[in-house]
Homo-oligomer: A and B are copies of this chain.
Amino acid sequence: MYLPPHFEETDPSQVYELIDTFPLAILVAQTEQGLVANHIPLMLQGKHELLGHLALNNDLHQLLPSGKEILAIFRGEDAYISPNWYPTKPIHHRHVPTWNYQVVHVYGTIHYQDDDKSKLAVVGKLTKKMEERTHGENAWRMADAPKDYLNAMLANIIAFRIEITRILGKSKVSQNRETVDLENVAKVLAERGSAHMAERMNQISETREEE
Contacts and interface: CB of A to CB of B under 8 A. Distances in A.
Interface of A: 1-2, 4, 23-24, 26, 28-30, 34-39, 41, 54-55, 57-60, 69, 71, 73, 75, 78, 80, 82-84, 89, 93-97, 99, 101, 103, 105, 107, 123, 126-127, 130-131, 133-135, 138, 140, 142, 144-146, 149-150, 153, 170, 193
A75 B26 contact: yes
Nearest to A94: B149
Of A89, A126, A140, A142, the most chain B CB neighbours within 10 A belong to A140
A93 B146 contact: yes
Contact of A145 (B93, B105, B193): B93
A153 B95 CA distance: 9
Contacts of A75: 26, 39, 75
